[in-house]
């Protein structure tokens, strides 16, 4: 059994724990959402207790938000590696292989390590079921537990955890963090977190803990009010990042003014005005870590921010035509992507390959991107236990903003169709779902090579 086969077999064992569709067909009321959330946290805490509380073997940075939390996590990890700190990084979801969620010192876990971790957590689930027949072994709690155990086994100095949806009842919220941060707060996962933006902010603010710094952006008044109230309630130390005071964005560069970390004109490889904002949050986290005694200098922060990269976030994978992959799966991400693409196009035509999941607010994702495109290929992401929005119906939505729309449900064929009709000076962008990006990224970076190399960037191939 080769590495990819070993990983796939272990992944299937975890998939067997999924009960029903991952996303609800109807909205939860607040009472139901809270009840379900508390039950989830109870399960993960029981699992961590019987597993020896691996999360207490290292300090943790916990990051939540509607958009940007994966990028912020990746920025912080890159800063740590510049400083020689043995960091562990957990982001979600993964694109091509579950090993992407298990990164230490910049490298993915090996297939054998993953297999051993899955066996370990399934063994714990069996122990809990023997002790309590009412115990429910679940996919999500298993994943978080094995991630925290992986960081213990490899001996990280610091774990960087991206929360999933929400924060207050997210499974990662079983940890006691050293530093917390909330990135942007916008409309997403409204069936479980909403319906209002204040409701969503309340969920995000749930990661704040007593005496831990609570970093947040100065944002719309109603959101900031919720975040600050929760921080005060739990006794967190608030740090509000104000543009033009704590940081500024000028001509594609970031200037940051922290307590110990200060720099000017940092230009991250991850492009876009929104990424400069994410980089500012990461710099503030690094600043707090430096205050806490971690050996992070302004040069470590500057260089880490410039070098950080993340698969599927406006990732350029080909040229002639230029091809970008971006997991813009909610309104805020789609608007940010459209703004960045508008700057990058420079008069060239955009060919868009668009696919979204069935529970997303499709018009809000499609509109800003389709309005920029000269041609769109509507497709369907393939995801385990999640429904795609039908490509034929997506064509009708997209057709309100772009006259040239084609339909190809198969993601790989959709990309080939887009490339076949593209000129060398066109820009092709695959977007709408992070899972769609994962479906097609193997055209340039085959999954078996990713697993073998332990990095998302093995030598590329021209698979299109």
Share of the chain above pLDDT 90, in %: 84
**Where do the CATH 3.40.1190.10 domains begin and end in the chain?**
3-307
Q: Name the band, by pLDDT with cuts 50, 70 and 90, for residue 358.
A: confident
From residue 256, alpha-carbon distances to 77, 253, 263, 302 in Å are 18, 10, 5, 10
Q: What is the 3-state secondary structure of the chain?
A: CCHHHHHHHHHHHHHCCCCCCCCCCCCCCHHHHHHHHHHHHHHHHHHHHHCCCHHHHCCEEEEECCECHHHHHHHHHHHHHHCCCCEEEECCCCCCCHHHHCEECCEECCHHHHHHHHHHHHHHHHHHHHHCCCCCCCHHHHHHHHHHHHHHHHCCCEEEEECCCCCCCCHHHHCCCCEEEECECCCCCHHHHCCCHHHHHHHHHCCCCCCCEEEEECCCHHHHHHHHHHHHHHCCEEEEECECCCEEEECCEEEEECCCCEEEEECCCCCCHHHHHHHHHHHHHHHHHHHCCCCCCHHHHHHHHHHCCCCCCCEEEECCCEEEECCCCCHHHHHHHHHHHHHHHCCCCEEEEECCECCCCHHHHHHHHHCCCCEEEECCCCECCECECCHHHHHHHHCCCCCCEEECCCHHHHHHHHHHCCCCCCEEEEECCHHHHHHHHCCCCCHHHHHHHCCCCCCCCCCC
The arithmetic mean of pLDDT across residues 434-440, rounded, is 96
What rounded mean pLDDT belongs to the chain? 93
Rounded to the nearest angstrom, the gap between the alpha carbon of residue 422 and the centroid of all alpha carbons in its chain is: 30
- Per residue in 105-130, pLDDT (tens digit) is 999 999 999 999 999 999 999 999 99
Q: Is the pLDDT of residue 189 over 70?
A: no
Q: Which of 23-32, 73-82, 424-433 has the lowest mean pLDDT?
A: 23-32
Q: Is the pLDDT of residue 21 over 90?
A: no
pLDDT given for residue 24 in this prediction:
55
pLDDT given for residue 196 in this prediction:
87
Residue whose structure tokens are 């010192």: 105
Q: Name the band, by pLDDT with cuts 50, 70 and 90, for residue 186.
A: confident
Q: Name the band, by pLDDT with cuts 50, 70 and 90, for residue 197.
A: confident
pLDDT given for residue 263 in this prediction:
98
pLDDT given for residue 190 in this prediction:
53
pLDDT given for residue 28 in this prediction:
63
Q: Is the pLDDT of residue 258 over 70?
A: yes
Cβ proximity of 464 and 407 under 8 Å:
no
pLDDT given for residue 316 in this prediction:
96
pLDDT given for residue 89 in this prediction:
98
| Rounded-to-integer distance, Cα 226 and Cα 197, Å | 10
- Per residue in 279-336, pLDDT (tens digit) is 999 999 999 999 999 999 999 999 999 999 999 999 999 998 999 999 988 888 899 9
Among 3.40.1160.10, 1.20.140.160, 3.90.190.20, 4.10.1240.10, name the CATH number for the domain at 315-444. 3.90.190.20
Q: Which residues contact 232 (CB under 8 A, 6 or more apart)?
A: 238
Q: Is the pLDDT of residue 25 over 80?
A: no
Q: Is the pLDDT of residue 235 over 90?
A: yes
pLDDT given for residue 72 in this prediction:
98
Among 3.40.1190.10, 3.20.20.80, 3.30.365.10, 3.40.30.10, name the CATH number for the domain at 3-307. 3.40.1190.10
From residue 96, alpha-carbon distances to 79, 215, 330, 360, 440 in Å are 25, 31, 21, 21, 9
Q: Is the pLDDT of residue 171 over 80?
A: yes
**Where do the CATH 3.90.190.20 domains begin and end in the chain?**
315-444
Q: Name the band, by pLDDT with cuts 50, 70 and 90, for residue 187.
A: low
- Per residue in 395-413, pLDDT (tens digit) is 999 999 999 999 999 999 9
- Per residue in 153-164, pLDDT (tens digit) is 999 999 999 998
- Per residue in 52-99, pLDDT (tens digit) is 999 999 999 999 998 899 999 999 999 999 999 999 999 999 999 999
Give the best-scoring range by mean pLDDT among 189-193, 269-273, 299-303. Answer: 299-303
pLDDT given for residue 22 in this prediction:
53
Q: Is the pLDDT of residue 455 over 60?
A: yes
From residue 280, alpha-carbon distances to 72, 210, 235, 295 in Å are 9, 23, 24, 19
Cβ proximity of 199 and 222 under 8 Å:
no
The arithmetic mean of pLDDT across residues 334-354, rounded, is 95
């Amino acid at each position: 059994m080769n590495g990819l086969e070993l990983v796939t077999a272990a992944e299937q064992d975890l998939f067997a724990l999924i009960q029903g569709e991952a996303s609800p067909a109807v909205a939860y009321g607040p009472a139901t959402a809270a009840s379900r959330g508390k039950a989830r946290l109870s399960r993960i805490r029981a699992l961590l207790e019987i597993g020896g509380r691996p999360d207490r073997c290292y300090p943790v940075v916990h990051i939540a938000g509607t958009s940007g939390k994966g990028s912020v996590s990746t920025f912080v990890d890159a800063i740590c590696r510049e400083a020689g700190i043995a960091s562990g990084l957990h982001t979600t979801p993964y694109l091509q292989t579950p090993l992407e969620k298990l990164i230490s010192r910049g490298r993915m876990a090996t297939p054998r390590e993953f297999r051993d971790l899955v066996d370990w957590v399934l063994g714990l689930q069996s122990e809990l079921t023997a002790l309590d027949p009412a115990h429910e072994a679940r996919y999500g709690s298993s994943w978080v537990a094995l991630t925290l155990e992986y960081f213990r086994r490899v001996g990280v100095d610091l774990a960087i955890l991206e929360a999933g949806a929400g924060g207050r009842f997210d499974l990662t919220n079983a940890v006691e963090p050293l530093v917390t941060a909330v990135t942007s707060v916008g409309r997403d996962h409204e069936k479980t977190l909403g319906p209002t933006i204040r409701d969503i902010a309340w969920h995000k603010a749930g990661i704040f803990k007593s005496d831990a710094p609570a970093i947040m952006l100065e944002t719309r008044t109603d959101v900031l009010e919720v975040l600050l109230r929760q921080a005060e309630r739990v006794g967190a130390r608030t740090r509000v990042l104000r543009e033009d005071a704590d940081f500024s964005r000028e001509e594609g560069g970031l200037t940051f003014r922290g307590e110990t970390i200060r720099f000017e004109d940092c230009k991250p490889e991850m492009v876009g005005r929104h990424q400069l904002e994410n980089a500012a949050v990461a710099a503030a986290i690094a600043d707090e870590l430096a205050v806490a005694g971690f050996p992070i200098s302004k040069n470590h922060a500057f260089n880490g921010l410039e070098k950080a990269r993340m698969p599927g976030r406006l990732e350029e994978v080909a040229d002639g035509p230029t091809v970008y992959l971006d997991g813009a799966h909610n309104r805020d991400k789609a608007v940010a992507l459209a703004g960045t693409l508008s700057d990058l196009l420079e008069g060239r035509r955009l060919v868009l390959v668009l696919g979204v999941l069935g529970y997303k607010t499709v018009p809000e994702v499609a509109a800003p991107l389709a309005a920029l495109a000269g041609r769109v290929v509507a497709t369907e992401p393939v995801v385990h236990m999640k429904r795609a929005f039908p490509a034929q119906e997506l064509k009708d939505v997209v057709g309100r903003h772009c006259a040239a729309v084609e339909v190809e449900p198969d993601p790989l064929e959709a990309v080939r169709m887009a490339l076949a009709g593209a000129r060398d000076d066109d820009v092709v962008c695959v977007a709408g779902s992070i899972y769609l990006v994962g479906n097609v990224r193997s055209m340039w970076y085959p999954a078996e090579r990713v697993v073998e190399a332990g990095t998302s960037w093995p030598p590329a191939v021209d698979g299109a």
